[in-house]
Amino acid sequence: MNVANGGKTLSENSRTEHSARNATVAMAARVIAILAGYVTRVVFTHTLSQDYVGINGLFTNILNVLALSELGIGTAITYALYQPISKRDIEKQKSLMQMYRQFYRIVAVIVLICGLLVIPFFGTLIKNQPEVEHLVLIYLIYLSNSVLSYLLIYKKTLIEAHQLSYIVILYQTAFLIVQYAVQIVILLTTGNFLLFVTIQILCTLGNNFSVSRKADRMYPYLKEKEVQRLPEDERKSIFRNIRAMLMHKAGGVVVNNSDNLLLSAIVGIASVSKYSNYFLVIGSVRQVLNQAFQGITASVGNLGVEESKERIRKIFEASFFMGQWMFGLAAICLFELCDIFVKISFGAQYVFPRSVTLILCLNFYLTGMRQSVLAFHDSMGLFWYDRYKALAEALINLTVSIVLGKYMGTLGIFMGTLISTVTTSLWVEPLMLYKYRLKISSKGYFLRYALYASVTFLLWWGIDFLCGYITGELWQVCILRLLVSIVGVNLIYLLIYHRTKEFRLLVRKMWGILHDKRLRYKAGRGM
């Protein structure tokens, strides 16, 4: 039973605080890891040839495609955990985690077998194959790292489902920093790429083992031998969700990880090396912002179990508003700064034409606008209703990217991603959320989407117009464009949206968290 506390329930306070802590720690940790990764990347590009840069991006994408075999098991099991955690049903949690462990062991074997079957097709996947020594051995090291990532790490799901994802993120960040530090030393002292990628395996093992030990200490029942088998109807429900998530996973893999493969096969490995640097910059920003939504995922799952549809709708609209602000600001900043940043960091030979940068930033913005929908969609188990959307998106993406890629090169491949998103995910995902969970018309959502996007695109044009007048040294232009973008976008957004109910709700939530922390601090000092 929820107990009133200043107009809010204890469970609501807990969800808000968990979300704020998870999102804050996650974003800070990602920034630290990204900065360390950026330094590593700069050293990497300046100590090894462009071929190694391209191979690194290509092999990473191949293994991301193989991750399709994960089948979306993690998302389906996490959703199944929310209710037993809310009810403190330990036996059900044990049963789900045992099923999860069995699934992931099978997945590790499938990834290994499929990864080995890719080797004979290197000649097709890599146009103008580079002269890189030990190419197969390097790939096997990447494959080993992917396989090992499935062992033990399944236990992190239980920590995350308890709304404590910040713990997992702290471990991941610590091992990433160690990995990057050692890799930089190796690059500067030996320039040995084999040692460089081997360190990644050791840190993956260290992280998995540490998180597994932490989960065992937090939830001792994970080590109990007596575990009940899930009832057949619940097993069928989970398998049903896994089948749906397989389709979503397939679509996501094609849309998000086919670009490097198509670039390598159609344009050449040099284009892959260019995109790898842009992906580092744009992907890093995306990771930081996505953490804000990943941090609230478990809380949203709990919200769906305990709260009314009206309450869920209000929280969703506030998170959608927050997302459009964050990703609108970031997209404009990236468009104004990305080319300059890549030129300063990696060299002019890695800079894309302006048209390609525009498409990359538009894709970033459209993907970002989906994050709030996806957080609610996945946390509330709506995988089944739009399962065919994912396959349609993948088919459109692949077809359009191949056709346009042959005629327009790199630009055409990235346009395929843009077109597939607009024709499927942009409208299908929110439609399913409103129809099957909120159970009201989605018209208001699409009107808000049109408003948010129109304001952002007009602002984007205005900021770009102003930035066109900035001249000077590259680093000076970079700083001034950043200042103009941040100040201009936030000021206009604030003027337009400060009276909206979504803005006011977010402000109240923020002040509520600060107020509660101040009270606890005072109470602690008074003891």
Find the length of the chain.
527
Please list the alpha-helical segments (H only) found in 263-386.
269-306, 309-346, 354-369, 371-379
58, burial (CB in 10 Å: exposed 0-12, middle 13-18, buried 19+): buried
DSSP assignment string, 458-509:
HHHHHHHHHHTT--SSHHHHHHHHHHHHHHHHHHHHHHHHTTSHHHHHHHHH
Which residues lie below 8 Å from residue 59, measured CB to CB, with a gap of 6+? Answer: 138, 139, 142
Residue tagged 């003027």 (tokens): 495
Tens-level pLDDT at each residue, the chain (527 residues): 333 333 343 344 455 666 667 777 777 887 888 788 888 878 887 887 767 767 776 777 666 666 554 556 777 777 788 888 878 888 888 888 888 888 888 888 888 888 888 888 777 666 666 666 777 888 888 888 778 777 767 788 888 888 787 888 889 889 989 999 999 999 899 888 888 888 988 888 898 889 889 999 998 988 888 888 888 888 888 888 877 877 877 777 777 767 777 887 888 767 877 888 898 889 888 888 887 776 565 566 566 665 567 878 888 898 899 999 999 999 999 999 999 999 988 888 889 999 999 999 999 999 999 998 988 887 777 878 888 888 899 899 999 999 999 999 999 999 999 999 999 999 999 999 999 888 899 999 999 999 999 999 999 999 999 999 998 888 899 999 999 999 999 999 999 999 999 999 888 877 766 666 666 656 655 54
Q: Which two tokens stand for residue 244?
A: 């749906």
Residue 9 bridge partners (DSSP): 4
Q: Which two tokens stand for residue 240?
A: 């049903």
Could you give the 3-state DSSP secondary structure of residue 383?
coil
Angstrom CA distances, 110 to 119, 146, 156, stand at 15, 11, 21
Please list the alpha-helical segments (H only) found in 119-192.
122-125, 135-148, 156-161, 165-189
Q: End-to-end CA distance of the chain, in Å? A: 29
CA distance 502 to 87: 31
Q: pTM of the predicted model, to two decimals?
A: 0.74
